[in-house]
């Protein structure tokens, strides 16, 4: 039995082992998320054992009761796994997310004796009960909730939508394909889930290497990588520098300075629209790249930023550069934008009768 299981699911075991090792050495996820990921890995592994035993050792007469029990577990496990995915990937989820899957599990257990969801007769022939499609409906609703919650929390950028789309397709295929290809597709359910989760994890890691950990904006490395990609599409560049960060750090502490940067970054992120990307490239230095944007788009973006920042107690200086045909080198656009931004910063301190912190000896 062990030999047959290893031959059938060895690739799944390797994948889950690699996933567990990767989680052990990652520095990009908090301990709570990692623990919940481990629960997912163990859950998928245990379900693979259930599926293996059900399909390989209970298809003949004499194992009717065991098959009913294993089917109840399998039908209940799918919504549980998807709800655990939501609990793991979507921040601030509570245990209430498991209530529908718990109710379904109770119904599945009752079905062992009543056949309300599935029926296995004494000849070991399977048929669906009056609620035979309920496990698929509940799992499908969980998938819809997962997609909605993941898209809601992301910045609606293509690089964030792609992994969500992949994970969603993989989960939905596990629900739809058994009706298309037959019940045997359930044999590879666990492998599909494991691959989907691992690929999503890899996407997330790649994302984290591009994200500034404090502000959630793209980082300096991402900026230098992005300006090399289709530079002719970059038609506008906006440079932003916070005013007074040094004073905040010196008088209120670096925690207050970090809070100021996070607040400003949130203002920028809320102002960004399609084809507009925000980067933190230094302590209080930010850049926004606009691809295939008009001058009116750039002007409107700056207005939104100024409006958002105006609602806070912080200030920043903004410069910009526009290239209608995209032929101006990005470095030249940055110089032009920085000149405007530093001129604005000079006026800011002059109006307050102060010297710029970088000019104070």
First to last CA, the chain: 78
Residue 133: CB atoms within 10 Å: 13
Asked if 322 and 293 touch (Cβ cutoff 8 Å), the reply is no
The string of pLDDT tens digits covering residues 269-305 is 999 988 899 999 988 999 999 999 999 999 999 999 9
> For position 60, what pLDDT does the model report?
66
Asked if 190 and 47 touch (Cβ cutoff 8 Å), the reply is yes
Q: What is the dihedral of CA 192, 197, 202, 206, to 10 degrees?
A: 130
Its pTM surpasses 0.75: no
Instruction: Say how far apart CA 148 and CA 200 lie, in whole Å.
Output: 16
Could you tell me the residue ranges of all domains in the chain?
2-208, 220-359
Instruction: Say how far apart CA 203 and CA 7 lie, in whole Å.
Output: 29
Q: Which stretches of the chain are DSSP H helices?
A: 2-25, 31-57, 64-89, 99-114, 134-153, 158-181, 189-208, 220-226, 245-252, 254-271, 295-310, 330-351
Q: Please give the CATH number for the structural domain made up of 220-359.
A: 3.30.70.270
Residue 244: CB atoms within 10 Å: 20
- Run means of pLDDT, 10 residues per run, the chain, 361 residues: 86 93 84 92 93 79 84 92 91 90 96 92 86 93 91 73 86 84 78 88 82 88 90 94 88 91 93 91 92 93 94 93 90 94 89 66 48
The string of pLDDT tens digits covering residues 229-258 is 889 999 999 999 999 888 888 888 989 999
């Amino acid at each position: 039995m062990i030999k047959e299981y290893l031959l059938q699911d060895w690739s799944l075991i390797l994948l889950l082992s690699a996933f567990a090792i990767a989680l052990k050495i990652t520095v990009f996820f908090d301990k709570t998320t990692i623990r919940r990921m481990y629960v997912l890995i163990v859950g998928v592994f245990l379900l693979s054992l259930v599926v293996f035993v059900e399909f390989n050792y209970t298809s003949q007469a004499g194992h009717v009761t065991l098959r009913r029990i294993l089917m109840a577990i399998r039908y209940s496990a799918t919504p549980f796994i998807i709800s655990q995915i939501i609990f793991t990937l979507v921040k601030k989820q509570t245990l209430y997310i498991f209530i529908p899957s718990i109710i379904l599990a109770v119904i599945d257990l009752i079905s062992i004796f009543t056949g309300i969801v599935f029926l296995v007769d004494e000849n070991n022939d399977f048929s669906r009960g009056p609620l035979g499609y309920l496990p698929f409906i509940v799992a499908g609703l969980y998938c819809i909730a997962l997609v909605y919650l993941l898209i809601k929390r992301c910045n609606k950028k293509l690089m964030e939508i792609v992994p969500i789309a992949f994970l969603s397709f993989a989960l939905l295929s596990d629900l739809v394909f058994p009706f298309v290809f037959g019940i045997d597709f359930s044999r590879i359910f666990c492998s599909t889930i494991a691959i989907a989760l691992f690929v999503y994890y890899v996407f997330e890691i790649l994302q984290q290497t591009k994200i500034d950990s404090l502000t959630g904006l793209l980082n300096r490395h991402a900026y230098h990588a992005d300006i090399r990609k289709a530079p002719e599409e970059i038609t506008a560049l906006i440079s932003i520098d916070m005013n007074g960060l040094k004073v905040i750090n010196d008088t209120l502490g670096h925690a207050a300075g970090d809070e100021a940067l996070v607040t400003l970054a949130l203002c920028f992120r809320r102002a960004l629209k399609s084809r507009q990307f925000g980067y933190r490239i230094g302590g209080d230095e930010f850049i926004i790249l606009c691809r295939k944007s008009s001058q009116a788009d750039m002007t409107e973006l700056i207005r939104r930023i100024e409006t958002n920042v105006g609602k806070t107690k912080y200030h920043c200086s903004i410069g910009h550069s526009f290239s209608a045909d995209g032929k101006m080198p990005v470095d030249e656009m940055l110089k032009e934008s920085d000149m405007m931004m530093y001129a604005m910063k000079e006026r800011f301190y002059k109006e307050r009768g102060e010297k710029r912190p970088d000019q104070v000896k």
